[in-house]
């Protein structure tokens, strides 16, 4: 990790969506690595939220703003003059996208357009990484993983918006930051598609682990919709490590890494929802009251898996934590929260533990 700390120390990094679950974890990790971090985001959308619980804002600069506000975003980008940008601001919930399709497309598509437009005003920018979703692919419900060259699609508004965000990224890369003229503009552009991430501090609605934690806190039964649905589960630190690795590679050899990337778990960790519940029950040490909700619900993909061969071969990234370890880490974080422990300290401790595991596996 010494090389990683050396790289990130004093780098000017802008994160959109830093008040969200993944954004808060990434902001904390970059602070730990010594980066100068500015976050651009709306205020946290849930209460509680990791951004507040872990006092993420204490070690960085925050600008509260909407990704759809091009004027403020451009002003922020120009004044901070970042060297690296992680675009994470999004409407990230499938079921909410059925209720708020206009907001979903506005945020996820035009928000991405605004990000790239604002980035064109940053004079020292070298790396832009747009974090989208594994749901950007045209899902055929097949058994093998989707590759980066597979077509974009999306049944529901959320998935379609992420497919559109990928097309926007490719269009801006080809039109304004082309690989063939990299030596002139020196800006590398990539997109990353991750699987279902889990970890402490996710309080979003209609997600399995947050719903489970809420049920435990309130001593109420957990209602689940699709117990047999298979997802590529991974701890939030797994894709974040991939993003950090990719940014380093893009900084050093931009033209070679300006592309789309899958960052997902091993095939063994693409397991059904029901199996996740059994693992959490074992890690928690108590029986959970689970009920199957057989009502009519909007369509959600039943089977989804990523092929991450490209990231393993070219980035040197690989999945580090088993799914059982992921669940144990979430349970430990949740216990700390329920016992009113120091959340910032504990979250940073889990990041340090993850760094140690990375070193051991090298």
Which residues form the domain of 176? 1-294+303-361
Positive/negative CA dihedral, 271, 90, 190, 137: positive
Work out the average pLDDT over 279-303.
Answer: 73
pLDDT digits (tens, 9 = 90+) for 43-94: 999 999 999 999 999 999 999 999 999 999 999 999 999 999 999 999 999 9
pLDDT digits (tens, 9 = 90+) for 187-230: 999 999 997 899 999 998 878 888 888 888 888 888 777 777 77
Whether residue 297 is predicted with pLDDT greater than 70 in this model: the reply is no
CATH of the domain at 198: 3.40.50.720
Confidence of residue 289 (pLDDT cuts 50, 70, 90): confident
From 300, 288, 325, select the one nearest 213 (Cα to Cα).
288
Cα separation, 308 vs 149, in Å, equals 12
Cα separation, 320 vs 317, in Å, equals 9
Angle made by CA atoms 37, 41, 47, in degrees to the nearest 5? 110
- Total of domains in the chain: 1
From 226, 201, 231, 208, select the one nearest 341 (Cα to Cα).
201
Widest pairwise Cα distance in the chain? 60
């Amino acid at each position: 990790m010494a090389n990683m700390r050396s790289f990130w120390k004093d780098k000017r990094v802008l994160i959109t969506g830093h008040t969200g679950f993944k954004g808060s974890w990434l902001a904390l990790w970059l602070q730990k690595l010594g980066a100068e971090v500015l976050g651009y985001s709306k205020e946290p959308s849930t209460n509680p939220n990791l951004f507040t619980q872990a006092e993420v804002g204490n070690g960085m600069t925050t600008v509260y703003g909407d990704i759809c506000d091009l004027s403020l975003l451009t002003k922020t980008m120009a004044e901070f003059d970042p060297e690296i940008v992680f675009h994470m601001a999004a409407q990230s919930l499938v079921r909410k996208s059925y209720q708020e399709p206009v907001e979903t497309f506005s945020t996820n598509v035009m928000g991405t357009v605004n990000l790239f437009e604002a980035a064109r005003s940053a004079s020292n920018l070298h790396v832009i990484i747009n974090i989208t979703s594994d749901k950007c692919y045209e899902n055929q419900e097949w058994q093998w993983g989707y590759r980066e060259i597979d077509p974009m699609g999306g049944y529901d508004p959320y998935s379609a918006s992420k497919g559109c965000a990928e097309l926007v990224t490719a269009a801006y890369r080809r039109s304004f930051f082309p690989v063939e003229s990299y030596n002139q503009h020196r800006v590398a552009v990539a997109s990353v598609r991750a699987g279902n991430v889990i970890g402490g501090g996710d309080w979003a609605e209609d997600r399995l682990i947050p719903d489970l934690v809420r049920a435990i806190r309130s001593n109420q039964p957990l209602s689940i919709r699709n117990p047999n649905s298979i997802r590529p589960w991974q701890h939030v630190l797994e894709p974040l490590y991939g993003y950090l690795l990719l940014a380093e590679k893009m900084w050093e050899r931009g033209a070679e890494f300006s592309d789309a990337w899958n960052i997902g778990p091993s095939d063994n960790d693409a397991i059904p929802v029901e199996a996740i519940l059994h693992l959490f029950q074992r890690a928690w040490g108590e029986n959970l009251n689970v009920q199957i909700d057989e009502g009519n619900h909007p369509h959600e993909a039943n089977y989804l898996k990523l092929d991450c061969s490209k990231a393993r071969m070219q980035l040197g990234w690989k999945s580090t934590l088993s799914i059982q370890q992921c669940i144990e880490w979430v349970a430990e974080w949740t216990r700390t929260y329920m016992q009113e422990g120091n959340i910032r300290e504990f979250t940073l401790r889990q990041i340090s533990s993850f760094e140690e595991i990375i070193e051991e596996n090298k």
